[in-house]
């Protein structure tokens, strides 16, 4: 490859600005209007092309989803579930532990027992989890749709959803996860249920985009912040919260991500800054081996999935640490561990279709999530090898999307890449 890294980045940024410009001012313009001279690198040309396409797709998908969110009149509330948590308080959130099944040796099956890696479909009978995730998605999409269209209806709906979930006396959720990842037959939920709240950052980062709208309700936001402060207190002080923070695998990493975004949103910037780099250092040192293997994930039966899943959280931590002035992307631990090594470790197996992966792995080698990481990796470390790998792996990811992951969102990843390259205002990715 003839292009040096800096030049590649400059070209990416140029390409992005160009495609945004074209979209804004000349929506009908076709590809042949884009002539950037001096590019004879086929991988890079392909990259730019894909990228431009992603911008179009991102906008149309985003507006579609926001319109769906706008039109949806169902109630989103924890109070709808057919079965109460042991507290008997309908406002307590409850979700069922994913990998737990009735004990065949007990007449009533209670308490349920663990079969790691095998999801029990019974978890779908209690909707709190899926509604919570829907709330995060909807508010996020509404916020970003407002950002791109300046249509106030989106903001009005987002405010409505926030009020409904967090504030209205009839429908609100209590600010705790005491019964998340609940095992039937026990008294309390488990620390691992805290991961239910994981994508809250997606909602939190879209809220500031809506504040300029005349439909944004500052008194609602004030009450929402009180809710979040109480929830953060719960997260920080209860034994469920403390145990989750201390877990060494993806649960601990995602706890940190959640905590940093909450602190930041609550205006506790100094705490967020300190938390972000301490967490980054700790998770890289403890969660990655000098080879790049993530040992706490590779011991799970779905070892490939959890390796990419934890890496996503590490990317979020790295991005946050960089935002607060610490270069977590390139931090190297005392034994040579780093996030980049974790990427490269997985990359070699991705390219061999998982051949030689030395761990138990019952769910195959799903590429879609890894490819998203790789697209970001190229932005962070503009190395030709990532670009070449993307040419090979992207079609596999696309095929997976077509076959099984219908909801997978590339437009999302586009926003994520874009925000990494620009001002990070739109950072949103890695669901
Ligand atoms: C509205 O959202 C709820 C909760 O996710 C979902 O069950 C329902 O199908 C949605 N309705 C429409 C019309 O999309
Ligand atoms: C805002 O979006 C809604 C839903 O798509 C649409 O009905 C309405 O006309 C839009 N308003 C403006 C001012 O464009």
pLDDT digits (tens, 9 = 90+) for 333-376: 999 999 999 999 999 999 999 999 999 999 899 998 899 899 88
Ligand with smallest separation from the Cα of 67: 2
In this structure, the residue with its CA closest to atom 10 of ligand 1 is 72
Query: Is there a contact between 119 and 99 (Cβ–Cβ < 8 Å)?
Result: yes
Mean pLDDT of 26-31: 36
* Residue extents of the structural domains in the chain: 59-215, 284-430
Ligand 2 atom with the smallest distance to the CA of 153 is 1
Residue carrying structure tokens 């706890």: 255
Residue bearing the bigger pLDDT, 26 or 232: 232
Q: State how far the alpha carbon of 17 is from the alpha carbons of 99, 127, 131, 426, in Å.
A: 46, 41, 36, 15
Confidence of residue 400 (pLDDT cuts 50, 70, 90): confident
- Residue ranges around ligand 2 (CB below 6 Å): 67, 70, 151, 153
The mean pLDDT of 290-312, rounded to a whole number, is 97
Tell me if 64 CB under 6 Å of ligand 1.
no
How far lies 95's CA from each of 32, 43, 130, 202, in Å? 52, 45, 9, 21
Place of tokens 């099944």: 101
Residue 182 sits at φ, ψ, to 5 deg, of -75, 135
Q: What distance in angstroms lies between residue 386's CA and the mean position of ligand 1's atoms?
A: 39
Mutate to test the pocket of ligand 2, among 62, 70, 151 (most ligand atoms within 8 A of CB): 151
Residue 398's pLDDT is 82
Please give the Cα distance from 126 to 154 (Å, whole number).
28
Closest CA to ligand 2's atom 5: 67
Q: Does the beta carbon of 248 lie inside 6 Å of ligand 1? A: no
**Residue minimizing CA distance to atom 14 of ligand 2:** 151
| pLDDT of 181 higher than 80 | yes
Output the residue whose Cα is nearest ligand 2's atom 11: 151
**Predicted local confidence at residue 19, as pLDDT:** 53
Nearest listed ligand to the Cα of residue 132? 1
pLDDT tens, position by position, 90-136: 999 999 999 999 999 999 999 999 998 899 999 999 999 999 999 99
| Model pLDDT for residues 261-271, shown as the tens digit of each residue | 999 999 999 99
3-state DSSP helix/strand/coil % of the chain, to nearest 5 = 60, 5, 35
The ligand whose atoms approach the alpha carbon of 152 most closely is 2
Distance from residue 158's CA to the centre of ligand 2 (Å): 15
For 59-215, CATH gives: 1.50.10.100
Q: Which ligand is nearest to the Cα of residue 63, counting in written order?
A: 2
Q: How far is the CA of 75 from the centre of ligand 1 (A)?
A: 9
Q: What's the confidence (pLDDT) of residue 38?
A: 38
pTM of the entire structure? 0.86
C-beta of residue 286 within 8 angstroms of C-beta of residue 335: no
State the average pLDDT over residues 273-289.
98
Tell me whether the CATH fold assigned to 59-215 matches the one assigned to 284-430: yes
What pLDDT score was predicted for residue 14? Answer: 54
Q: Which fold has domain 284-430?
A: Glycosyltransferase (1.50.10)
Q: Is 363 in the pocket of ligand 1 (CB under 6 A)?
A: no
Residue 10: alpha-carbon gap to chain centroid: 27
Average pLDDT over residues 172-179: 98
Rounded average pLDDT over 71-96: 97
């Amino acid at each position: 490859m003839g292009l040096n890294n800096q030049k590649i980045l400059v070209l990416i940024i140029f390409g992005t600005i160009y495609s945004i410009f074209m979209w804004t001012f000349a929506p009908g313009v076709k590809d042949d209007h884009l002539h950037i001279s001096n590019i004879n690198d086929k991988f890079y040309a392909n990259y730019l092309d894909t990228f431009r396409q992603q911008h179009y797709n991102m906008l149309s998908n985003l507006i579609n989803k926001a319109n769906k969110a706008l039109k949806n009149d169902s109630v989103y509330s924890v109070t709808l579930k057919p079965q109460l948590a042991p507290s008997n308080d309908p406002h307590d959130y409850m979700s069922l532990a994913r990998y737990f099944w009735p004990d065949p040796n007990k007449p009533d099956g209670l308490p349920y027992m663990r079969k790691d890696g095998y999801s029990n479909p019974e978890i779908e009978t209690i909707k709190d989890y899926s509604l919570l995730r829907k709330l995060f998605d909807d508010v996020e999409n509404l916020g970003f749709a407002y950002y791109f269209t300046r249509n106030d209806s989106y903001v009005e709906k987002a405010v409505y959803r926030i009020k409904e979930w967090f504030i209205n006396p009839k429908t609100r959720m209590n600010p705790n996860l005491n019964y998340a990842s609940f095992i039937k037959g026990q008294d309390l939920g488990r620390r691992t249920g805290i991961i239910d709240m994981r994508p809250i950052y997606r909602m939190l980062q879209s809220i500031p985009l809506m504040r300029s709208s005349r439909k944004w309700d500052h008194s609602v936001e004030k009450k929402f912040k009180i809710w979040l402060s109480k929830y953060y207190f719960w997260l920080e002080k209860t034994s469920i919260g403390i145990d989750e923070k201390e877990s060494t695998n993806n649960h601990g990493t995602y706890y940190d991500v959640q905590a940093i975004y909450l602190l930041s949103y609550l205006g506790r910037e100094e705490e967020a800054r300190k938390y972000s780099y301490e967490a980054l250092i700790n998770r890289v040192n403890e969660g990655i081996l000098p080879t790049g293997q993530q040992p706490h994930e590779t011991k799970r039966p779905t070892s490939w999935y959890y390796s990419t899943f934890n890496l996503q959280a590490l990317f979020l931590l790295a991005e946050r640490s960089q935002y607060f002035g610490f270069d977590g992307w390139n931090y190297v631990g005392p034994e040579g561990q780093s996030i980049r090594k974790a990427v490269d470790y997985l990359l070699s197996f991705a390219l061999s279709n998982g051949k030689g992966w030395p761990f138990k792995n019952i769910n195959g080698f799903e590429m879609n999530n890894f490819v998203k990481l790789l697209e970001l990796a190229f932005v962070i470390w503009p190395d030709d090898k990532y670009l070449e790998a993307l040419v090979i792996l992207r079609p596999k990811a696309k095929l997976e999307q077509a076959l099984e992951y219908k909801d997978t969102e590339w437009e999302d990843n586009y926003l994520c890449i874009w925000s990494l390259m620009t001002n990070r205002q739109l950072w949103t990715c890695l669901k």
